[in-house]
A and B are shown apart, each in its own frame.
Chain A
Amino acid sequence: GAVVSQHPSRVICKSGTSVKIECRSLDFQATTMFWYRQFPKKSLMLMATSNEGSKATYEQGVEKDKFLINHASLTLSTLTVTSAHPEDSSFYICSAREMTGVAEAFFGQGTRLTVV
């Protein structure tokens, strides 16, 4: 299957700083990328959907100014957690879909964010 790479896999940051997480599709062009958040022992919660070249669509309850998403190219989307706080600590996972009309999406390996 297609490969989606997330970087970094782990990051620790201080409260008040911002952290950027990258999601890259390595062998295909991703028209749509999704960002999820996963709490310990919980399921994946969709945060936002981003289409290349347009603004991301955020799910209800997700602060768009807190979680900045940029999908500037067909192979890269970034999630920036701004002014991070300890409650933002979580596992963040991206997925990418190759083309419109195709349902299958491929998942990155996730990023463990710890805010201290």
Chain B
Amino acid sequence: GESVGLHLPTLSVQEGDNSIINCAYSNSASDYFIWYKQESGKGPQFIIDIRSNMDKRQGQRVTVLLNKTVKHLSLQIAATQPGDSAVYFCAEIYSGTYKYIFGTGTRLKVLA
């Protein structure tokens, strides 16, 4: 299930199930979006990106969906594995400034 704690919201899923992590972005002018995975004590690791002229993009086991109408981004992970346990951040970028604005993050816990 999903819970919102004092800090990072946490999503717990059973190994093998699909995970869906959501993100609301703030700037309607943002035209590039990236999902990052961050493990404890490490920098963000690129997972998948999508440009604003698309609404869906698939990678290996991951899919990103973009809904510009409601400024919403989601990351779907198929057949979640223990190695997927980490904190996931979305980042929105506006090509006018190229500044990355990160979302609050979601901790994914994979249960054996």
User: Hey, which bits of chain A sit against chain B, CB under 8 A?
Assistant: 1, 6, 32, 34, 40-46, 49, 91, 93, 95, 97, 103-110, 112
Chain B residues within 8 Å of A, Cβ to Cβ: 7-8, 32, 34, 36, 41-46, 49, 89, 93, 95, 98-105
Asked if B99 and A46 make an inter-chain contact with CB atoms under 8 angstroms apart, the answer reads yes
The A-B contact count (CB < 8 A) is: 53
CB distance from B57 to the nearest CB of A (A): 14
A111 to B101, CA, bound (A): 20
Q: Are B43 and A93 in contact (CB under 8 A)?
A: yes
Report the minimal beta-carbon distance from A76 to chain B, rounded to whole angstroms.
17
On whether the beta carbons of B102 and A49 are closer than 8 Å, the reply is no
Q: Which residues of A contact B103 (CB under 8 A)?
A: 43
Contact partner, A110, options B34, B41, B105, Cβ 8 Å = B41
For the residues of A in contact with B, the DSSP-based class is strand
Task: For B44, list chain A residues within 8 Å (CB).
Answer: 44, 93, 107
Q: Are B8 and A41 in contact (CB under 8 A)?
A: yes
A45 to B36, CA, bound (A): 15
B100 touches A95 (CB 8 A): yes
Which residues from chain B contact A43 at a C-beta distance below 8 Å? 89, 102-105
B107 to chain A: closest residue by CB = A41
What CA separation (Å) do A103 and B43 show in the bound complex? Answer: 18
Q: How far does the Cβ of B4 sit from chain A's closest Cβ, in whole Å?
A: 12
Beyond A42-B7, A42-B104, A105-B98: 17 further Cβ-contacts under 8 Å?
A1-B46, A41-B7, A42-B105, A43-B89, A43-B103, A44-B89, A44-B102, A46-B100, A46-B101, A49-B99, A103-B32, A103-B95, A103-B98, A104-B46, A107-B36, A107-B44, A109-B43
- Of B42, B89, B104, most A-chain CB atoms within 10 Å: B42
